[in-house]
Amino acid sequence: MKRWTTGEVAKQRNISVRTLRYYDQIQLLTPSFKDDHGKRFYSEDDLFKLEKIIILKSLSLPLEDIRMILDKLTYKQILTSHYNYLQEELSKLQTSISHTASLINMIDLEESLSWERVSEMVQNSRKNAKKWMDYFPEEEKAILQESLPNLSNNDKTIQKYIGLLRRMEWCIQHNITPESDEGAQIASELIEVSNESFQEDNNLMEKFWEVRKLPAEETGLYPISEEVLEFAERCIAYVTT
Amino acid sequence: MKRWTTGEVAKQRNISVRTLRYYDQIQLLTPSFKDDHGKRFYSEDDLFKLEKIIILKSLSLPLEDIRMILDKLTYKQILTSHYNYLQEELSKLQTSISHTASLINMIDLEESLSWERVSEMVQNSRKNAKKWMDYFPEEEKAILQESLPNLSNNDKTIQKYIGLLRRMEWCIQHNITPESDEGAQIASELIEVSNESFQEDNNLMEKFWEVRKLPAEETGLYPISEEVLEFAERCIAYVTT
DNA sequence: TATACTTGATGACGTTACGTCACCTGCAAG
DNA sequence: CTTGCAGGTGACGTAACGTCATCAAGTATA
């Protein structure tokens, strides 16, 4: 049975020695043997475990979660929640990227950055974020104001929506029908989020979906394609029958 | 002239009081007036400056960089480098997402996660990552092995490439010709990275670009479209004349 | 054999952008 | 006079290590 030292393992898996010592320290990966001088020796099983850890880490899972997964726990729960988290990160990143790109563009156009322009830009996106509310009559606006508290980046509800939209897009791309387990899952989450937002007011909810079909520039909302809308409707239809 | 306290500003801009105090502490945003008891008072100018900070922060810029931008410095350099950074983050995130999606899929298919499958999956992507080398004759492989050290996720060179590719795609989308400043910039960075990789061996470099034209599944490399290739070639042609 | 080099180990502090106590203070209301 | 509130200042905690400084064992060299 061969045993590897920290240095060897580190080189082999392309990680730092410090990392291995850290994993030992937080009891994530304890080498199966230690010298009488404290020298660490890793077995093949240890390496396999490390491999798992590296894979999970490549999914941006925090080490704490990795420990739980390794000690068995509902894989799916952790992974799906993680997937949603990643989608949120992705959407944040993408807005960040488009903002940056706009700024770069502005530099080229105007030579020097004019902060008025920048402010204007951000202001516009703020304005747009609320403009779609004009599609609703006055009495309903109050409810909307309350039920969709912050339409800023940080809003959890909108992030959940975006996560769901992405999942639906993904399903469509991978030819997963709305009449599947995943579809049912999505439907239930959709309903949950909708109820959170609209407090059971189905009428209001219907209207909201109608509005969402309008082009993005008009509403300032995250755009929804026809396919996704159809997917969503079929999901919900499948579950409610 | 109205002056605002920390609490008022915090509420207004939807940030925490702690944040304001922190910005004062690190001298990023020092209120223009302080009470004889140390109470902070922000002027309109301060609020404007804060607005800038918030915008820049929304671009995921670290506060250190924000300070530099605020005190004037080549906006463009910082922003473009930041843009590249974001692109790197994006590509990492995207592989992360697709891995996660695959894993979730596997759970559905196999009920419980089999680590053998996972390993296999990762192994395959590793295999693919080196497969394209078969397009080169033996003598050149050695150089390639050395010059493109790790084709893993962490490799900086490949990340730079990906960043450049994304920038070119972006230019194409925004109708920016290769014969522009941005094109020249991209060309010089392309040449720089190529030289880093191929150590001035133009012959080898040419071949590498040829290989890149092949479909992604075959090479395991990040795919390049015809347009981008043409864009790159025109960029370089423009600079070298 | 003395010396130097390599590889390993162990603290301990640094990093980012704040969150979260604990504790103190000036001021207005009840 | 107490209470409460809005403000203040440290100081510690966070995630996942990077980066010293220092020490010990084993190996190679002069």
Query: Are residues B39 and B135 both part of a single domain?
Result: no
Q: Is A93 in CB contact (< 8 Å) with chain B?
A: yes
| Structure confidence at residue B115 (pLDDT) | 52
**Residue B211 has what pLDDT?**
58
A37 located within any domain: yes
Same domain for B229 and B128? yes
Between B14, B82, B103, which is nearest A79 by CB? B103
Contact B117, B124 (CB under 8 A): no
Task: Please indicate, yes or no, if residue B91 is contained in any of the structural domains.
Answer: no
* Residues A147, A236 within the same domain: yes
* Helical axes A44-58 vs A6-13, angle rounded to 10°: 40
Please name the member of B51, B79, B122 whose beta carbon is closest to the beta carbon of A100: B79
Is the separation of the CB atoms in A92 and A154 below 8 Å? Answer: no
Candidate ranges A86-95, A97-106, A111-120, B127-136; pick with highest mean pLDDT: A86-95
Residue B98 falls within a domain, yes or no? no
Q: Which residues touch strand D (CB under 7 A)?
A: A 16, 18-19, 22, 37, 57, 62-64; B 5-8, 17, 21, 37-40
Query: Do A10 and A93 have their domain in common?
Result: no
Residue to mutate among B78, B96, B154, B174, with most A CBs inside 10 A, is B96
- In this predicted structure, what is the pLDDT of residue B166? 66
In a domain, B75, yes or no: no
Per-residue pLDDT tens, chain B, 241 aa: give them.
789 999 999 998 889 999 999 999 999 999 999 998 899 999 988 987 887 788 778 766 788 878 877 765 555 665 666 676 677 667 767 777 766 666 666 555 554 555 555 544 444 444 433 434 444 444 544 444 444 433 333 345 555 666 677 677 777 767 778 888 777 877 877 777 776 665 555 665 666 666 556 554 444 444 566 777 888 888 888 888 7
To test the contact with chain B by mutation, choose from A56, A57, A86, A98 the residue with the greatest count of B C-beta atoms within 10 A, namely: A86
In contact, B144 and B136? CB cutoff 8 Å:
yes
Residue A49 CA to residue A29 CA, distance in Å, equals 8
Please indicate, yes or no, if residue B103 is contained in any of the structural domains.
Answer: no
Specify whether A129 is located in the same domain as A199. yes
pLDDT value at A227 more than 70: yes
Q: Which of residues 168-197 of A touch B (CB under 8 A)?
A: 170, 174, 181-182
Whether residues B44 and B136 share a domain: the answer is no
- Per cent of chain A over pLDDT 90 is 13
Q: Considering the domain boundaries, does residue B203 fall inside one?
A: yes
On whether the CB atoms of residues A163 and A86 are closer than 8 A, the answer is no
> Are B51 and A119 spatial neighbours (Cβ–Cβ below 8 Å)?
yes
Chain A: closest CA distance from residue B76 (Å): 7
Same domain? For A167 and A233 the reply is yes
Do residues B231 and B127 share a domain?
A: yes
Average pLDDT, chain A: 69
CB within 8 A of B12, min separation 6: which ones? B4, B47
At residue B40, the pLDDT reads 97
Q: CA at B5, C1' at D5: how many angstroms apart?
A: 14
Query: Given A14, A42, A70, which residue is the final one in a domain?
Result: A70
| Residue where a domain stops, chosen among A24, A47, A70 | A70
| Nearest chain A Cα distance for residue B100, angstroms | 6
Domain edge (last residue) among B26, B47, B70? B70
Residues B142 and B223 grouped into a single domain: yes
Find which nucleotide's C1' atom is closest to B11's CA: D6
**CB-based contact B93 A89, cutoff 8 Å:** yes
Burial status of residue B79 (CB atoms within 10 A of its CB: 0-12, 13-18, 19 or more): buried
The domain in which residue B12 lies consists of 6-70
pLDDT of residue A19: 95
B14, B55, B170 ranked by CB distance to A101: nearest: B170
In a domain, B176, yes or no: yes
What is residue B34's predicted lDDT score, i.e. its pLDDT? Answer: 94
Q: Is the pLDDT of residue A2 over 70?
A: yes
pLDDT at A172: 78
Instruction: Give the count of domains, chain B.
Output: 2
- Asked if B132 and B225 sit in the same domain, the reply is yes
Q: Which residue has the higher pLDDT, B227 or A110?
A: B227
In a domain, B1, yes or no: no
Rounded Cα–Cα distance for residues A125 and A8 (Å): 52
DSSP-assigned states of every residue in chain B: ---B-HHHHHHHHT--HHHHHHHHHTTSS--SEE-TT--EEB-HHHHHHHHHHHHHHHTT--HHHHHHHHT---HHHHHHHHHHHHHHHHHHHHHHHHHHHHHHHHHHHHSS--HHHHHHHHHHHHHHHHHGGGGS-HHHHHHHHHHS---STT-HHHHHHHHHHHHHHHHHHTT--TTSHHHHHHHHHHHHHHHHHHTT-HHHHHHHHHHHTS-HHHH-SPP--HHHHHHHHHHHHHHH-
**Residue A79: its pLDDT value, please?**
65
pLDDT digits (tens, 9 = 90+) for A189-220: 777 777 666 555 666 566 666 655 655 444 44
CATH of the domain at A43: 1.10.1660.10
Kindly state whether residues B37 and B137 are assigned to the same domain: no
What is residue B217's predicted lDDT score, i.e. its pLDDT?
44
- Are B198 and B153 in contact, with CB atoms under 8 Å apart? no
B83–A105: do the CB atoms touch at under 8 Å?
A: no
Cβ contact B212:B201 at 8 Å:
no
- Nucleotides of chain C within 7 Å of a protein C-beta? 7-10, 16-20, 25-26
Percent of chain A predicted with pLDDT > 70: 48
| Domain co-membership, A135 together with A182 | yes
